[in-house]
Amino acid sequence: MTAITGVATLAIAHERGWSLPGLGHDEPVPVTVVLNRNGGTVYAAPDDVPGLGLSGILARQGIVTTEIPAFTGSDAEWTSFVGCVQERFDGFAVTIVDEPPAEGEYTLAYVGGTPDLVGFEDTVGGIAPHAERVLEGSVVFVFQPQGIPARALCETAAHEIGHTLGLDHSRDCSDIMSYESCGPKEFRHEPALCGEWEDRPCGDGELTQSSTDRLALAVGVSPSRHEPEPEPPAPEPPPASDERPTLDVRRSALAQAGQPFSVIVDSGDASLQHVDLYWYARRGYRLRCGEEGPIPFSCEREGDTTIFTLHPDTAGARKFFVRVTEPSGRTTRTPAYRVTLDRAR
């Protein structure tokens, strides 16, 4: 599930004791995924059956039936969305379509509606079954709350489909399987630690996960539609100091919707290249001091103190952490903090 790309399937599964048998395949299993823009009635059942609208997620949530509304958007927006999801799986044996095939098994992703329709809070971007293997014939939900950006919806869909193919959550903020966000995402080749907000062992017992390697083993590869351009060599960074910045984070005493909310960061180092606030509401945002962000905010930086000020307009739970980048490129981050914004009075 995505709590930003949102997007916490595995986290909820761990918390609620849900499990599916981790049986492996000897050979890769190519899959077809149907993106459903028309919505429909979904019924609770022990097992997913896409063609009949049966969902194990509803059964585990204790919901007998629910009505998923259609995707809200134009034909052009839908075509762009489908193409975006196809791009994310380019090079892998995952066929992304928006009409069920005439024969053969497929996974069905409902695209539309809000998480309350299946019993989840509004911080959840999507939900999907997960095991340490390919789950053919899954039923997936990709929610479309009002105002969600097109890229976020695409990345949420790819994230949830990834869970049905055996992928765990990644701590690499540039990986589609990460709750965290630091720009456009893709399935990353570099091995990364697993976890939602903190590091943990991967579900298959490994210490790290390479999303592309895991996908290739799970479903196999296919010819890419695009030849990647060679990346230019990275410049040599200046040598790093042995001492990392010590980050002290404080926040506004008042936490209320409709009122300014500030996060104050004391780093003890005025030479930092970047100071970033990662703010998680319905989805996650990286707010870099000195640059425009995807949501309104202001930032003041004086010496080794940085003050981010946001203007949240809705009540509810939020999470945030701070990450700083030294001139050498080395990064240091804080733990994730939680705050609940009260309703406006």
pLDDT at residue 153 greater than cutoff 80: yes
pLDDT at residue 8 greater than cutoff 50: no
Last residue of a domain, one of 219, 235, 259: 219
Structurally, how many domains does the chain consist of?
2
150 falls within a domain: yes
225 falls within a domain: no
Kindly state whether residues 311 and 192 are assigned to the same domain.
no
Percent of the chain with pLDDT over 70: 87
Q: 300 lies in which domain range?
A: 248-341
175 falls within a domain: yes
pLDDT category of residue 232 using cuts at 50, 70 and 90: low
> Per-residue pLDDT tens for 57-70?
999 999 999 999 99
Residue 83 CB partners (closer than 8 Å, separation 6+):
none
Q: What is the CA radius of gyration of the chain?
A: 21
Q: What is the pLDDT of residue 274?
A: 93
User: For the chain, first and last CA: distance in Å?
Assistant: 33
Task: Tokens for 40, please give them.
Answer: 């429909």
Kindly state whether residues 188 and 264 are assigned to the same domain.
no
Which of 227, 331, 315, 233 minimizes the C-alpha distance to 274? 331
242 falls within a domain: no
User: What average pLDDT does this structure show over 119-130?
Assistant: 91
Which of 318, 322, 326 minimizes the C-alpha distance to 334? 322
pLDDT category of residue 227 using cuts at 50, 70 and 90: low
Write the DSSP assignment of 129-195 as a string of letters: ---SS--TT-EEEE---TT--HHHHHHHHHHHHHHHTTPPPBS-TTBTTBS--SSS-B---S-EEB-
d(CA 265, CA 61): 40
136 falls within a domain: yes
Q: What is the CATH number of the domain that holds 170?
A: 3.40.390
Q: What is the pLDDT of residue 282?
A: 65
> Per-residue pLDDT tens for 240-294?
555 778 889 999 888 999 999 999 999 988 899 999 998 887 667 889 999 998 8
> Per-residue pLDDT tens for 249-260?
999 888 999 999
Count H helices and E strands in the chain, helices first.
5, 19
48 falls within a domain: yes
Q: What is the CATH number of the domain that holds 278?
A: 2.60.40.10
Kindly state whether residues 311 and 194 are assigned to the same domain.
no
Residue type, 8: A
Kindly state whether residues 34 and 94 are assigned to the same domain.
yes
